[in-house]
Amino acid sequence: MNEVIIIGGGPAGSVMGCYLSMAGIKNVLLEANNHPRAHVGESMVTSSTRVYEEIGFLPTMEKEGFVHKHGASWHDLNGKEAAIWFNEFHQEGINQPYTYHVDRSRLDLLLLKHAQSMGTEVIQGVTVRQVLFDEQGYANGVRAKIADQEIDLHSKLVIDASGRNTIIGRQLGTKKKDPIFNQYAVHAWFENVTRGTEETSEFIHIYFLPVERGWVWQIPINDHITSIGVVAEKEVFQQSKGDVTAYFDKYVHSNPALETAMADAVRINDFKTEGDYSYSMDKFVGDGYMLIGDAARFVDPIFSSGVSIALYSAKYGSQYIQKALEANDFSEAILKPYEVKMRAGVSVWYEFIRLYYKLLPLFTHFIQSKKYRIEVLRLLQGEVYDRQEVAVLAAMREYIETVEKTENHIFRSKLTSIPIDDLPGFSVEEVSKVEKPAA
Amino acid sequence: MSTQEVLGSFILDELAKGRKGKISPQDDLLGEGIIDSLGILQLVAFIEERFNLAIADEDVVIENFQSVDALSTYVDNHLA
């Protein structure tokens, strides 16, 4: 009998498979597609490197020749640019001052194969229809469709790594839309994009748009292909009335630096639209099950944190799964510390994202200030799981409060309508009660 | 150089890109689009560095940044 069934073979599922296999835990991974398959989310933060190293995947990343990402650059509406280099802050245990941009169809396939090579039984072309529960309410398997057949597979634990399909969240009705964010992204691949100076051409570039929470990503996929994505609030996207090409063009032309970068660009694939991607499940664990990666929560792609969160959720999750198997206890209680840890980390990102969108000039200010630059960089490197460690968030919030209170503050008109009151439903005190798992 | 001259040159050389000619002490910096909000931040950073002065967040108001004159007055008042 399998100990663990993993639903989904994206980065979260594959990396979970790796950690479980490394711990000698028998696991089966069920993937609906047959890889390779395309996927959004093409840039990473540097903290991902630690996980790749732990699972022995870093040499593969290097061998594949994924583009090295040494930093990030922001372009405002007046053509001014602010940039950061990852090498400005050394991260313990990470020996390279860069991370990667990737063609996800290649990365995800390689990770899946890596999990397989480590001992995970990978089965593709299998769609999980529902998670099965026993009479005590414990998840104990899945009902899956293989070609025309439906079969039931059983295990002691079920891990939902189904990404934005959010299988368990939908089945149990625990999925909640984000109260603040409701963004849409339209993206495609282009050739002949003028990416930047010699130093910054392989950075991720973010261009501000003249609409609230609007921005564009520029991610180099390889030597000649660049991914460009226009992100804006759903209402703005809906004004396009279905003419995606015109919508995309309009916003490309609304930022001068972007317009220049795209002057000779040629699109080489179809536009894809991503929406309804800001949500959270009420629970990340239950009796017999655990949610990891996007299946648990996704916030916003602005800081490229998605893949990193997926990887860390797999890493931390695997530690609690090990405990559960050792204790032969698969209850929600024994898995709960994983949820507390992940919510703490995601809430740091969430706060950072909200403060960022609240007052855009503030962000470039904090990057340029000697005092806070390094702390912002640490956040951008994806290092922080403990809110108490992040003084810069408190400083950003204070700054915004000053702007709000000061009558003729120059930035008053730049404030957006995002609420920045205390984060709902989660207290920092809970984090310190959780025993820290092995690093 | 006087405070006014220091500020004036910085604004002209670094922030008011594309503007021809001088900036008079009374010119409305924001109103005339000589500098934008990102420019304000660069200006604040420059003043803090150059004059070794911490500018309180509450002081980043239109009155103080209205013109080179207004800004010099603010800086001189706080240098003491």
pLDDT tens, position by position, A215-244: 999 999 999 999 999 999 889 999 888 899
For A259, the enclosing helix (H) or strand (E) is: helix A256-261
Q: Which candidate in B35, B41, B64 is best for mutational testing of the A interface (most A CBs within 10 A)?
A: B41
- Looking at A110-114, A179-183, A274-278, A365-369, which range is the least confident one? A365-369
Report the relative pairing of strands A215-220 and A266-267 from DSSP bridges.
Answer: unpaired
B70 reaches A (C-beta below 8 A)? no
Cβ within 8 Å, pair A365-B41: yes
Compare all CA atoms of chain B with the CA of A409 and give the residue at the minimum distance. Answer: B61
Answer whether residue A438 shows pLDDT above 50: no
User: Using one digit for the tens of pLDDT, what is the confidence trace for A293-346?
Assistant: 999 999 889 888 899 999 999 999 999 999 999 999 999 999 999 999 999 888
For A130, list phi and psi in degrees, rounded to 5.
-160, 160
**Considering CB atoms only, which of A80, A399, A409 is closest to B38?**
A80
The structure tokens listed for A27 are 């696991």
Q: Tell me the pLDDT tens digit for each residue of A100-115.
A: 999 999 999 999 999 9
CA A409 to CA A24: how far, in whole Å?
A: 60
Rounded to an integer, what distance in angstroms lies between the CA atom of residue A116 and that of residue A108? 12
Q: What is the pLDDT of residues A391-423, one digit of tens each?
A: 778 888 888 888 888 888 888 877 777 776 654
Q: How far apart are CA A21 and CA A122, in angstroms?
A: 12
- Phi and psi for A296 in degrees, rounded to 5? -90, -45
Taking CB atoms and an 8 Å limit, are B37 and A361 in contact across chains? yes
Tell whether B42 is within 8 A of chain A (Cβ).
yes
Mean of pLDDT over chain A: 89
pLDDT at site A167? 97
How buried is A198 (Cβ within 10 angstroms: 0-12 exposed, 13-18 middle, 19+ buried)?
Answer: exposed
Residue keyed to tokens 């570039």 = A205
What is the predicted pLDDT for the residue at A392?
79
Which one-letter DSSP state was computed for residue A140? E
pLDDT in tens, A355-369: 888 877 677 777 777
Distance (Å) from the alpha carbon of B57 to chain A's nearest alpha carbon: 7
Between chain A and chain B, the number of residue pairs with CB atoms below 8 A apart is 45
Cα separation, A184 vs A164, in Å, equals: 14
Distance between CA atoms of A405 and A387, rounded to whole angstroms? 25
Using the predicted structure, report yes or no on whether residue B55 has a pLDDT greater than 80: yes
Distance CA A51, CA A5 (A): 21
> Peptide bond before A179: cis, by omega within 30 degrees of 0?
no
Provide the percentage of residues in chain A whose pLDDT is more than 90. Answer: 64
Give the pLDDT confidence score for residue A139 in this predicted structure. 97
What SS3 state is found at A128?
Answer: strand
Chain A nearest-CA residue for B46: A369
Nearest to A326 by CA among A122, A119, A51, A20: A20
Nearest residue in chain B measured CA to CA from A411: B37
Q: Is B45–A408 a contact, with Cβ atoms under 8 angstroms apart?
A: no
* Pick from A16-30, A80-94, A334-348: least confident: A80-94
Contact A69, A202 (CB under 8 A): yes
| DSSP structural state of residue B13 | I
Q: Is the pLDDT of residue B53 over 80?
A: yes
Alpha-carbon distance of A259 to A262, in angstroms, equals 5
Asked if residues A313 and A257 have their Cβ atoms less than 8 Å apart, the reply is: no
Q: What pLDDT sits at residue A296? A: 96
List beta partners, residue A82.
Answer: A74
Residues of A in contact with B74 (CB under 8 A): none
User: pLDDT class for A384, splitting at 50, 70, 90?
Assistant: low
The DSSP annotation for A52-67 comes to: HHHTT-HHHHHHHTPE
Residue A108 near residue A14 (C-beta atoms within 8 A): yes
Contact A385, A326 (CB under 8 A): no
Contact A406 B61 (CB under 8 A): yes
Would the CB atoms of A361 and B41 count as touching at under 8 Å?
yes
Distance CA A144, CA A142 (A): 6
Nearest CA in chain B to A412: B61
What share of chain B has pLDDT > 70, as a percent? Answer: 91
Confidence of residue A349 (pLDDT cuts 50, 70, 90): confident
ipTM rounded to 2 decimals: 0.76
Among A residues 76-105, those touching chain B with beta carbons less than 8 Å apart: 76, 78, 80
**Which residue does chain B place closest to A407, by CA atoms?**
B61
Q: Which long-range contacts (CB under 8 A, 24 or more apart) does A276-280 make?
A: A276/A177, A276/A182, A277/A164, A277/A183, A277/A185, A278/A177, A278/A178, A278/A180, A278/A181, A278/A182, A278/A183, A279/A166, A279/A169, A279/A175, A279/A176, A279/A177, A279/A178, A280/A175, A280/A176, A280/A178
DSSP B15: I
**What's the distance, Cα to Cα, between the start and end of chain A in Å?**
30
- The mean pLDDT of A370-393, rounded to a whole number, is 74
What's the token pair of residue A148?
């025309």
Confidence of residue A387 (pLDDT cuts 50, 70, 90): low
Q: Given B41, B58, B62, which is nearest A364 (Cβ)?
A: B41
Over range A57-72, report the average pLDDT: 96
pTM of the model: 0.86
DSSP string across A1-66: -EEEEEE--SHHHHHHHHHHHHTT--EEEEESS-SS---S--B--TTHHHHHHHTT-HHHHHHHTP
Residues linked to residue A127 through DSSP beta bridges, in sequence order: A145
Kindly state the average pLDDT of the residues B12-25.
79
Mean pLDDT to the nearest integer, B16-33: 81
Percent of chain A residues past pLDDT 70, beyond the cut: 93
Q: Which positions ≥6 away from B2 have C-beta within 8 Å?
A: B72
Q: Which residues of B21-32 are buried (b: 16+ CB within 10 A; e: fewer)?
A: eebeeebebbee
Nearest alpha carbon to residue A362 among A86, A74, A85: A74
Confidence of residue A168 (pLDDT cuts 50, 70, 90): very high
Tell me the one-letter amino acid at A82: A
The CA distances from residue A78 to A227, A248, A276, in Å, are 23, 20, 31
Confidence of residue B20 (pLDDT cuts 50, 70, 90): low
In this prediction, residue A432 carries a pLDDT of 38
Do residues A401 and A363 make contact, with C-beta atoms less than 8 angstroms apart?
Answer: no
pLDDT at A9: 98
